[in-house]
Amino acid sequence: MADARFLYEDHELTFPVVEGTESDAAVDISALRGKTGLVTLDRGFANTAEGQSAITYINGEEGILRYRGYPIEQLAEKSSFLEVAYLLQYGELPTKAELDEYEESITRHTLLREDVKHLFEAFPHTAHPMQILASATSALATYYPDALDPMDRESVDLGSRRLIAKTPTMVAWSYKYRVHQPYVYPDNNLDYASNFLRMMFSVPAEEYLADRVIAQALNMLLILHADHGQNCSSSAVRLVGSGHANLFSSIAAGIHALSGPLHGGANQAVLEMLHQIVKSGDDLDTVIKRAKDKEDPFRLMGFGHRVYKNFDPRARIIKKAAEEVLTSLGVDDPLLDLAMQLEEVALSDDYFVERKLYPNVDFYSGIIYRAMGFPTDMFTVLFALGRLPGWIAQWRELLGDPAAKIFRPRQLYSGADTRDYVAIDDR
Ligand code: SDX
């Protein structure tokens, strides 16, 4: 592709243009500061790529999402979460033998050390599960010194498998602690989703068999959340990893980033918003009016996206699944009807149409999680459970890239000019 040419003062500068697999391309400005003394200003990195990635392709204009080239619609329908976890990290769909080995290795690592219980029990019962999960994930680094070297493939493989295996157990045990119920241990005879559901919802006093509909829906939801390119939390994982911090510390940073209501915390915020709308008795026109009012901090949570300027393909799949799962479970949730009506009113309003604000992955997911029996404050933890293999894949890709550099963005200083210190009695 032809170079990009910039005119600055009386200089004409050329920069190479790097072409991606699809129609995307990037101008490489690595030499910009050296040539001109300028740095770029790009809030939220909306126009900036830190590097190249081969993991996930998103076309926001057309609403396309692919993991390692495979369309999300096909993976959601035909794959399993552990197969997608393998695909994201190793780049290819596993053979049967490879998948069997991978699943077996995950199954063999689902147990937590008994002393991890003290960590959960150090929290108040009202602690938010995202705070507990981030702390427990960091703590894993203290139990596994053999899985801390980010430059050793075996150590990284071991740490990755331990994290994917133990996170469902940590999530379930933190829930059991918060609801004052006994911990339920993993059952190695169960698949990933069923094992997690059993640890979450079974009690020692009675038999529990995970509902197939719920287990299949959870498997699909985990796949849909598994990766999404350089989103806020994946960028946090990469940034922390760029300093060669260990995998557990880097993933803990991703969990914290995901907890924000503008990011993964939105699935919880959507349910709280729907409940608030019902409680307020506001009609939908009033709700939409508030969402458009710049003076009003209210936003239509679950709507809008930095990249998708079309329907988020995941939202389309989840919306269909919400109707199917609720029907199959015999759940008639008025909040689903309200969400659909809200979507309809918003998408016929110029404000949303002009800004290309569509439902995103968080708009309908909470409706399904609620029907499955999860408390609202666990929805973002479920997002984290799904996103874990993507975070790991992004971290591994960066650490495995010989051209990777520590993340150290520039700034444009706009503070005070130089000045002398003034003694306190003279201020
Ligand atoms: C996720 O990046 C990823 O890939 C993330 C994610 C993933 O898989 O990792 O997809 C998961 O985080 C999905 C997003 C979940 N967040 C929400 O649903 C929160 C509500 N959405 C917004 O806060 C917002 O849309 C963002 C944060 C998602 C995107 O923000 P941007 O890209 O910075 O866009 P913006 O805030 O500049 O909005 C552009 C315009 C603004 O209006 P104007 O100044 O042009 O007049 O659209 C308006 C915004 O005010 N706007 C909204 C809105 N979202 C944007 N107005 C009302 N309600 C909204 N939800």
**CA 304 to ligand 1: nearest atom:** 25
For ligand 1, the distance from its centroid to the CA atom of residue 166, given in whole angstroms, is 32
Separation of alpha carbons 340 and 364, rounded Å: 9
Of all residues in the chain, what percent carry a pLDDT higher than 90?
97
Does residue 305 carry a pLDDT above 90? yes
* 421 Cβ contact partners less than 8 Å away, ≥ 6 residues apart: none
Q: What are phi and psi of 299, to 5 degrees?
A: -125, 155
Q: Are 299 and 342 contacting, i.e. CB atoms less than 8 angstroms apart?
A: no
Angle between the N-to-C axes of helices 96-107 and 153-178, in degrees from 0 to 180, rounded to the nearest 10: 50
Helix (H/G/I), strand (E/B), else coil: 246: coil
Q: How far is CA 27 from CA 4, 14, 17, 19, 32, in A?
A: 7, 10, 4, 9, 11
For ligand 1, the distance from its centroid to the CA atom of residue 304, given in whole angstroms, is 4
Q: Is 263 in the pocket of ligand 1 (CB under 6 A)?
A: yes
- Identify the pLDDT of residue 33: 95
Q: What are phi and psi of 126, to 5 degrees?
A: -95, 5
User: What is the average per-residue pLDDT within 39-52?
Assistant: 97
Q: Is 314 in the pocket of ligand 1 (CB under 6 A)?
A: no
Pocket-testing residue among 42, 262, 295, 298, ligand 1, by greatest number of atoms within 8 A of Cβ = 262
Does residue 23 carry a pLDDT above 90? no
Separation of alpha carbons 289 and 308, rounded Å: 23
Q: Are 314 and 371 contacting, i.e. CB atoms less than 8 angstroms apart?
A: no
Q: Are 139 and 194 contacting, i.e. CB atoms less than 8 angstroms apart?
A: no
For ligand 1, the distance from its centroid to the CA atom of residue 305, given in whole angstroms, is 5
Q: How high is the mean pLDDT of the chain?
A: 96
Separation of alpha carbons 88 and 363, rounded Å: 25
Q: Is 343 in the pocket of ligand 1 (CB under 6 A)?
A: no
Does residue 303 carry a pLDDT above 90? yes
Q: How would you class 261 by CB atoms within 10 Å of its CB: exposed for 0-12, middle for 13-18, buried for 19 or more?
A: middle
Separation of alpha carbons 238 and 232, rounded Å: 10
User: What is the average per-residue pLDDT within 90-119?
Assistant: 96
Please report how many Cα atoms fall inside a 13 Å half-sphere around the Cα of residue 137, on the Cβ side. Answer: 30
Separation of alpha carbons 10 and 188, rounded Å: 69
Helix (H/G/I), strand (E/B), else coil: 108: coil
pTM for the whole structure? 0.96
How many C-beta neighbours within 10 Å does residue 277 have? Answer: 19
- Identify the pLDDT of residue 399: 97
User: What is the average per-residue pLDDT within 373-382?
Assistant: 96
Separation of alpha carbons 244 and 20, rounded Å: 27
Residues with a catalytic annotation lie at: 305, 362
Helix (H/G/I), strand (E/B), else coil: 347: coil
Separation of alpha carbons 114 and 116, rounded Å: 5
Q: Are 88 and 390 contacting, i.e. CB atoms less than 8 angstroms apart?
A: yes
β-bridge mates for residue 11, sequence order: 8
Sole residue written with tokens 């552990």: 82
- Identify the pLDDT of residue 318: 95
Q: Provide the pLDDT confidence category of residue 159 given band limits of 50, 70 and 90.
A: very high
Of all residues in the chain, what percent carry a pLDDT higher than 70?
100
Q: Is 182 left (phi over 0), alpha (psi -120 to 50) or beta?
A: beta
Separation of alpha carbons 59 and 45, rounded Å: 17
**CA 355 to ligand 1: nearest atom:** 47
For ligand 1, the distance from its centroid to the CA atom of residue 355, given in whole angstroms, is 10
User: What is the average per-residue pLDDT within 56-69?
Assistant: 96
Per-residue pLDDT reduced to its tens digit, 312-367: 999 999 999 999 999 999 999 999 999 999 999 999 999 999 999 999 999 999 99
β-bridge mates for residue 12, sequence order: 7
Q: Provide the pLDDT confidence category of residue 411 given band limits of 50, 70 and 90.
A: very high
| H helix intervals, 333-378 | 334-346, 350-354, 361-372
Tokens of 244: 């060669």
Residue nearest to atom 23 of ligand 1 (CA): 262
* 107 Cβ contact partners less than 8 Å away, ≥ 6 residues apart: 165, 188
Separation of alpha carbons 136 and 146, rounded Å: 18
Q: Provide the pLDDT confidence category of residue 1 given band limits of 50, 70 and 90.
A: confident
How many C-beta neighbours within 10 Å does residue 286 have? Answer: 12
**CA 233 to ligand 1: nearest atom:** 9
For ligand 1, the distance from its centroid to the CA atom of residue 351, given in whole angstroms, is 13
Per-residue pLDDT reduced to its tens digit, 161-188: 999 999 999 999 999 999 999 999 999 9
Which helix or strand (DSSP H or E) is residue 322 part of?
Answer: helix 313-329
Q: Is 289 in the pocket of ligand 1 (CB under 6 A)?
A: no
